[in-house]
Amino acid sequence: MSATEVIEEIKKLPTDEQKKVLDFVHALEGALEGKESSFEASAKWALEEHRELLRRLAQ
């Protein structure tokens, strides 16, 4: 799935689900400014926290 396709799917989500995506993006932004271990921790958190959202986006 391309980034454009993901963005289009995010636009279709209800507002509360879009907020979860935004939280995920902010977590990644913070991780990119830090160390690799912070990124790994943020990625793990995001995957666990937003498992259902990511599953829906992957469909």
The average pLDDT across 19-48 equals 77
**CA–CA dist 37, 39 (Å, integer):** 5
Domain membership of residue 36 as a residue range: 3-58
Looking at residue 27, its pLDDT comes to 81
10-23: b or e for each residue (b if 16 or more CB lie within 10 Å)? beeeeeebeebbee
For the entire predicted model, the pTM comes to: 0.52
Contact call for residues 18 and 10 (beta carbons, < 8 A): yes
If one counts the domains in the chain, the total is 1
Mean per-residue pLDDT, 23-47 = 74
Arithmetic mean of pLDDT, 6-22: 92
